[in-house]
Amino acid sequence: MDCIRNRRTIRKYKQDDVSPALLDQLLEDSFRASTMGNMQLYSVVVTRDSQMKERLAPAHFNQPMVTNAPVVLTFCADFNRFSKWCRLRKTEPGYDNLISFLNAASDTLLVVQNFCTLAEAHGLGICYLGTTIYNPDKIIEVLNLPELVMPIATITVGYPDECPAQPDRLPIKGIIHQETYADYESVDIDRIYEYKESLSENKHFVEVNGKETLAQVFTDIRYRKTDNESMSEALLKTLKRQGFLK
């Protein structure tokens, strides 16, 4: 399991293809993840065609991995397949609601992580694109996703052409709680974020952005309240459009 401990996100890939047989095998094994009532509430759309990658790229803010990776995978929460089965088997499905969305999204994300672990164990590199839920409408259009299907995560896949440094992680005592959640005092927060704030790349990040603290880089530049609020509105609309919310 060293590959989990030593993993790093790969954004630059060799031009070598990922064989369809290997990809199918990795996906098939990833589907062994736990799933709600063994319903397997997910679908995966494989993008290899370069024109399709070009069409997906804007939804991912044109991050170069989307067009440069040999394979782009869009993992979707899917209650469409199961609902169609219900209707063909003389019963009315009742999965056009928020809890069903969250059940399907959970199923999906467990498979995503399983796939990433398997891919990395086979010498592939992956990048998880969090942008999928920022621009779901565009992705729905390009991939032709019907009602009760929502894109949740996009993974770019290929053979690594870089070996970046591993990013820092918070000390585990800042994340693990015993028996009940021990809310954080100022002294705890100082201790938890001390190492991250001490890193020269983060100090540089603060400086070039003309900020006073690293937290301000997050709130003022990377993940802004106004952006989050407009994306939340868009997300609610898309959940309604895809039939998961009234």
**Shortest CB 179 distance to a second copy, Å:** 6
Which residues, numbered 23-62, are part of the site for a second copy (CB under 8 A)?
24, 27-34, 36-40, 42-49, 52
How many residues can be counted in the chain?
246
Q: Are strands 149-158 and 71-78 parallel, antiparallel or unpaired?
A: antiparallel
Handedness of CA 209, 214, 219, 222 (dihedral sign): positive
- Cα separation, 154 vs 58, in Å, equals 13
**Shortest CB 84 distance to a second copy, Å:** 5
Binder among 21, 50, 208, 225 for a second copy (CB under 8 A): 225
Shorter beta-carbon distance to a second copy: residue 17 or 24 = 24
Shorter beta-carbon distance to a second copy: residue 62 or 219 = 219
CA dihedral 137, 138, 143, 149 (to 10 degrees): -10
**Shortest CB 7 distance to a second copy, Å:** 5
Binder among 19, 62, 198, 236 for a second copy (CB under 8 A): 236
Q: What three-state secondary structure class fits 42?
A: strand
Shorter beta-carbon distance to a second copy: residue 20 or 64 = 20
Question: Total binding residues for a second copy by CB under 8 A?
Answer: 115
Q: Which of 118, 165, 145 is nearest to 18 (CA)?
A: 118
Give the binding range for a second copy (CB under 8 A) out of 11-19, 61-69, 143-151, 157-165. Answer: 143-151
Give the binding range for a second copy (CB under 8 A) out of 11-19, 61-69, 157-165, 228-236. Answer: 228-236
221 touches a second copy (CB under 8 A):
no
List of residues 6+ apart from 163 with CB closer than 8 A: 8
Which residues, numbered 95-114, are part of the site for a second copy (CB under 8 A)?
95, 97-100, 102-103, 105-106, 109-110, 112-114
Q: What three-state secondary structure class fits 144?
A: coil
Shorter beta-carbon distance to a second copy: residue 159 or 191 = 191
Neighbours of 243 (CB within 10 A): 20
- Cα separation, 225 vs 102, in Å, equals 23
**What are φ and ψ of residue 60, in 5° steps?**
-110, 30
Residue 98 is encoded by which pair of tokens? Answer: 């928020």
Binder among 65, 69, 80, 243 for a second copy (CB under 8 A): 80
Shorter beta-carbon distance to a second copy: residue 14 or 199 = 199
